[in-house]
Amino acid sequence: MKIIKKILVSILILIVLTAFGGYIYFNQKFIPEKNYLTLENESGRIPIKWIGNDKNVLLLPIHFQKDSTTYYLQFDTGATYTEFYYNSIKDIKGISINNHRATATFYLGNTKVTSHLIKVSNIGKVHDKNDSVKIIGTLGADIIENRKTVINLKENCVVFNLSQCPAKFKNNLIDFEFKKRKIIIHADLEGNSEKFLYDSGTSAYELLTSKEIWESLKLPRSKVIIEKPQSRSNILTSYTAKSNRVITFKNKNVPLTEVTYVEGFTATQYMLMKFSGMTGMLGNKIFLNHTIYIDCAQEKIGIE
């Protein structure tokens, strides 16, 4: 009997140590590197350009000095850092590349953005003069870190580097977590307090969640739409169904009309969700009739 008890205790200790080790590993793995972006001036209203009939991708225009061409970055708050795509920037005179890093100064509206260490990924399209939309990279959550930002999806514009909180939000702010450059919002769903990641790179979906939660939130007789979106080199399979629930952000009710789960995520992506305790990711689609104010320095957010 004593031997069995010792074995059970040993197994329990092993389980605890494994879980703790996993937590430490993923906690360290997702710590973003230093923010290398320097911003000057408030941007003013920057117009959003959408790609796709379902507003699949949120693009923002940028410009370089002595270059009349308009380039675009995908605005993705789910990405912890800004990056350029090598194949798309190698011929741009305003960017110099060394050891997979770029030195550049560009303009987001009236905001001057400077960095000597922008990451460069070996992806992207080689653009020619006939391309109407030249996408050259991703604008990550480092652009909003320690700053005030308005994402107005209702009027299709974004404002960066605000000097103060807009008046309409001052009495309508709630807490959020800007943890490892991820926007984590607490809200109520089905009477339970849940954690959601806001990811502006997930434009075409309202809520991405697990299959189990998807089953509980979808309408029983809803038609399921199956699609095969691509995430970098991964081909995913998404399953979207109608829903009629409400997500409550303190005093703001936002209808949830669709819910999606995805097959094909990497083990790392799955474990990130598991260890973070998040219910799912909120994409732009759920906020298309709303304006979001984000103050990352004070970790306050407002939804109108």
pLDDT tens digits for range 60-82: 999 999 899 999 999 999 999 99
Q: Is residue 152 within 8 Å of residue 158, measured between CB atoms?
A: yes
Confidence of residue 234 (pLDDT cuts 50, 70, 90): low
Same domain, 133 and 79: yes
Q: Inform me whether the pLDDT recorded for 26 exceeds 90.
A: no
Q: Is residue 158 within 8 Å of residue 149, measured between CB atoms?
A: yes
Dist. CA 83–CA 242, nearest whole Å: 35
With tokens 């807490």, the residue in question is 175
Longest dimension (CA), the chain: 81
Same domain, 135 and 170: no
Which pLDDT score is estimated for 57?
Answer: 92
Q: For the chain, what is the domain count?
A: 2
Which pLDDT score is estimated for 27?
Answer: 45
Q: Inform me whether the pLDDT recorded for 126 exceeds 60.
A: yes
Q: Which of 94, 109, 143 is the last residue of a domain?
A: 143
Q: Is residue 164 within 8 Å of residue 148, measured between CB atoms?
A: yes
What are the pLDDT digits (tens) for 82-93?
999 999 988 899
Average pLDDT taken over every residue of the chain = 85
Q: Which of 89, 113, 143 is the last residue of a domain?
A: 143
Q: Residue 117, Cβ neighbours under 10 Å: how many? A: 15
Same domain, 180 and 278: yes
Same domain, 72 and 186: no
Same domain, 62 and 118: yes
Same domain, 72 and 177: no
What are the pLDDT digits (tens) for 37-64?
999 999 999 999 999 888 889 999 999 9
Structural domain for 183, as ranges: 165-303
